[in-house]
C-alpha cells in the first residue's frame, strides 16, 4: 500500500461513502437528506468533505442538473461493494452470536428412560449442531454432588432429601416392578403371589436402602422376602438388568424400562402387580452455576417441554 492510499484509508469517513451511495441512488440532495434523516445542508456539506478528501469532483449539480462524474461513478461502484460488505459483516456477527458452540455436561441416574427427554436432546442437536453434550451416569447421590460442585450443567435423578442450595423440577414418575430372568425357577410360572418370592436370592441397586432414594423399592422387597440375601448389586441399571437376566436372583426394574424385555420373553414380571412403588425423577439445577449459552438453551428447552406435558402423561409404568 502506497503512502497516499494509506493516508486515505485513515482519513476517509465510511459514513460519507454510505451517504454518497444514497445520494447517487436518490439523484437529489433533498431526497437523500430525507432518506438519511438529515438536513439538506448536512448532505451538501458531507458531499463537499468527501470530494475534498478524494481530490475529485464526484457530482456536477446545479439548477435542474445532477450528473455523476466518471470519478463519482467509479467511487459509487466501490462504495456499493463496501456498504454491502459492512451489511454482511453485521449479519456475520449476528450469526456468530447465534451459533451455539458450548459444551453441556449432564449428570444422570442410570435408570432414566424418558422419551420426551430424548426428543429434547435430538431437537437441540438439530438446532445447535456445533454444541456438544456429555452425559455422565452414576447413582443419584453422585448426580447431586456433581450439581452442587458445579461440575455438571444440571442433573437428572431420583431425590430423597432435597439439598437447600439446589432447585428441583419434577420431570416424571416411574413405577418399579420385580422381575426374574429365563434361568430363574419362577420364570414363566403363572398365578404367582408375593409368598412365592420368599427363599430366593435378590439383586438390586446399591441405593436400595431404607435411607436412600429407592426406599419404596426397599420396602417392597422387605415385605416380600425380609430374610432373603442380596447376592448382586450395582448403581447401573444395565448391570442390574444383566444380573437378573443371568439368573442371579429376583430384582427391581422400572416397569416401562423392562416392558420390551417382557414382551420379547427375556424377563418375567413377578408379583405384586397392583400399586407398584412410585419413584419421582427430577431435573436438578444449581442457581450458583453460571451456564454457557448451550447449557442455558438446553435447560430452557427441557423445562419448556416438561411444562407443556400434563403430569398424567409423565407417569410411566403405572
pLDDT surpasses 80 at 213: no
Measured CA to CA, the distance from residue 268 to residue 179 in angstroms comes to 5
What cell was used for 172?
Answer: 416424571
Q: Which residue ranges does the chain devote to CATH 1.10.10.10?
A: 3-95
The CATH class for the domain spanning 3-95 reads mainly alpha
pLDDT confidence band for 192 (50 / 70 / 90): very high
CB atoms under 10 Å from CB of 27, counted, come to 13
Report DSSP state, residue 250: B
Measured CA to CA, the distance from residue 127 to residue 9 in angstroms comes to 41
Q: Whose grid coordinates read 453434550?
A: 133
Are 270 and 186 in contact by the 8 Å Cβ rule? The answer is: yes
CA 145 centroid distance within chain: 21
Measured CA to CA, the distance from residue 123 to residue 129 in angstroms comes to 10
**pLDDT per residue over 276-309, tens digit each?**
888 899 999 999 888 988 999 999 999 999 999 9
Q: Half-sphere exposure of residue 4, counting CA atoms within 13 Å on the CB side?
A: 3
CATH 3.40.190.290 fits 100-317, yes or no: yes
Burial 229-243 (b: 16+ CB within 10 A, else e): ebebbbbbbeebbeb
Measured CA to CA, the distance from residue 64 to residue 46 in angstroms comes to 21
Helices in the chain by DSSP H: which ranges? 3-11, 14-26, 29-36, 40-54, 70-98, 115-127, 140-148, 215-224, 237-246, 255-263, 293-308
pLDDT surpasses 80 at 15: yes
CA 276 centroid distance within chain: 32
**pLDDT per residue over 80-108, tens digit each?**
878 777 765 665 565 566 678 889 999 99
For residue 90, what pLDDT is reported?
62
Q: Which residue ranges does the chain devote to CATH 3.40.190.290?
A: 100-317
pLDDT confidence band for 57 (50 / 70 / 90): very high
**pLDDT per residue over 135-174, tens digit each?**
999 888 889 988 998 889 999 998 888 999 999 999 999 9
CB atoms under 10 Å from CB of 63, counted, come to 4
**pLDDT per residue over 27-40, tens digit each?**
999 998 999 898 99
Q: What is the CA radius of gyration of the chain?
A: 35
Amino acid at each position: 500500500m502506497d503512502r497516499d492510499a494509506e493516508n486515505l484509508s485513515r482519513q476517509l469517513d465510511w459514513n460519507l461513502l454510505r451517504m454518497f451511495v444514497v445520494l447517487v441512488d436518490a439523484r437529489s440532495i433533498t431526497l437523500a437528506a430525507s432518506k438519511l434523516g438529515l438536513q439538506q445542508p448536512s448532505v451538501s456539506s458531507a458531499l463537499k468533505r468527501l470530494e475534498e478528501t478524494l481530490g475529485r469532483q464526484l457530482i456536477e449539480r446545479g439548477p435542474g442538473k445532477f450528473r455523476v462524474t466518471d470519478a463519482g461513478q467509479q467511487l459509487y461502484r466501490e462504495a456499493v461493494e463496501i456498504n454491502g460488505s459492512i451489511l454482511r459483516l453485521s449479519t456475520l456477527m449476528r450469526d456468530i452470536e447465534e451459533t451455539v458452540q458450548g459444551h453441556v455436561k449432564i449428570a444422570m441416574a442410570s435408570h432414566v428412560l424418558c422419551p420426551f427427554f430424548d426428543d429434547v436432546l435430538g431437537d437441540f442437536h438439530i438446532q445447535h449442531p456445533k454444541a456438544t453434550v456429555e452425559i455422565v451416569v452414576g447413582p443419584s447421590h453422585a448426580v447431586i454432588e456433581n450439581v452442587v460442585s458445579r461440575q455438571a450443567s444440571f442433573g437428572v435423578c431420583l431425590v430423597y432429601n432435597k439439598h437447600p442450595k439446589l432447585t428441583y423440577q419434577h420431570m416424571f414418575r416411574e413405577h418399579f416392578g420385580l422381575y426374574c430372568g429365563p434361568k430363574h425357577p419362577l420364570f414363566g410360572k403363572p398365578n404367582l403371589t408375593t409368598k412365592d418370592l420368599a427363599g430366593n436370592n435378590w439383586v438390586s441397586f446399591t441405593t436400595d436402602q431404607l435411607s436412600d432414594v429407592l426406599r419404596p423399592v426397599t420396602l417392597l422387597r422387605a415385605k416380600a422376602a425380609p430374610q432373603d440375601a442380596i447376592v448382586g448389586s450395582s448403581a447401573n441399571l444395565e448391570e442390574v438388568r444383566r444380573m437378573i437376566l443371568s439368573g442371579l436372583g429376583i430384582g427391581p426394574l422400572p416397569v416401562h424400562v423392562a416392558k420390551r424385555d417382557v414382551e420379547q420373553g427375556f424377563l418375567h414380571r413377578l408379583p405384586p402387580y397392583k400399586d407398584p412403588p412410585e419413584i419421582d425423577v427430577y431435573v436438578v439445577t444449581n442457581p450458583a452455576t453460571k451456564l454457557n449459552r448451550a447449557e442455558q438453551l438446553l435447560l430452557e428447552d427441557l423445562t419448556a417441554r416438561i411444562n407443556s406435558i400434563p403430569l398424567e402423561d409423565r407417569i410411566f409404568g403405572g
